[in-house]
Amino acid sequence: MTDEVIPLPSATLILLRPSNQGLEVLMGQRHATHSFMPNRFVFPGGRVDEEDSLVSGFAECLPRARDDQEPALDDATRLTLARTVLRETLEETDLLIGRPETLSTKITNPAPIWQSYADKGLRPAFEDLIMIGRAITPPPSHKRFDARFFMADGRLAHGDLPADGDSGELLDLAWRPVAQLAGLKMPTITKILLSIAVKAWKDDGPTLPDEPFEFTTI
């Protein structure tokens, strides 16, 4: 009997922003060679790395979440997931999710991601991340993830997407009108969490979802 694969903790970010075509969402296509969800359009994100457990050196406010959205999840894990999603977003899109701030002292964490924020005069927007859901890849998949999904205002994104749309991790990376996604090949869980995020966009910005959500199959 084959041992069951343990899901790896991971984090994903849904970035929405207003445009003259309605709400837009940032998505890219996974390479055909990827062993997990090849050729599917997804949001930026990835698994937790060891470095994500280290403080960034910036002020770190907890991401926003409903009180009944995983109430047992401790603060340290929430911040680790927030650091993960900010790091993965930078690695996969070249975008920094932050707010302008001039630092009076050097940051204490020399990790490249946090230095990138400091170099651009930005602080990571921890407090602007909203946790909206969780999904766990079911067995018997050969690769499994325990994924938390966050949403944030895309107007907090600083930088430019790769000119050719290829970040090395995602192809055809672009802001896409939500109303024009019908032809894209997306995983079911991607469609479900996008719907939750769109419903939570109210009064020109992201808000907490109307109810907690945990989905255990991707």
pLDDT at residue 1 above 50? no
Say how many domains are in the chain: 1
The answer to whether residue 110 sits within a structural domain is no
Q: How do residues 205-217 score in pLDDT, each as one tens digit?
A: 999 999 999 876 6
The answer to whether residue 119 sits within a structural domain is no
3-state SS of 63-94? CECCCCCCCCCCHHHHHHHHHHHHHHHHHHHC
Q: How do residues 21-70 score in pLDDT, each as one tens digit?
A: 999 999 999 875 665 666 789 999 999 999 999 999 999 999 999 999 99
Question: Cβ(154)–Cβ(125) under 8 Å?
Answer: no
The answer to whether residue 112 sits within a structural domain is no
Question: Cβ(59)–Cβ(51) under 8 Å?
Answer: no
- Contacts (Cβ under 8 Å, ≥6 apart) of 83: 52, 53, 54, 56, 124
The answer to whether residue 46 sits within a structural domain is yes
Q: How do residues 152-182 score in pLDDT, each as one tens digit?
A: 999 999 999 998 878 888 999 999 999 999 9
Residue, of 110 and 120, whose pLDDT is higher? 120
- Residue range of the domain that includes 164: 8-95+127-215
The answer to whether residue 121 sits within a structural domain is no
Rounded to an integer, the average pLDDT of 191-196 is 96
pTM of the model: 0.93
Amino acid in position 108:
T
Amino acid in position 19:
S
Torsion of CA 179, 206, 81, 135, to 10 degrees: -50
Beta bridge partners of 38: none
The answer to whether residue 40 sits within a structural domain is yes
Centre a 10 Å sphere on the Cβ of residue 187 and count the other Cβ atoms it contains: 16
The answer to whether residue 19 sits within a structural domain is yes
Q: Kindly give the pairing relationship between strand 41-42 and strand 96-100.
A: unpaired
Q: Looking at residue 201, which CATH number applies to its domain?
A: 3.90.79.10
Q: Rounded to whole angstroms, how far apart are CA atoms 131 and 82?
A: 9
pLDDT recorded at residue 36: 62
Give the distance from CA 57 to its chain's centroid.
20
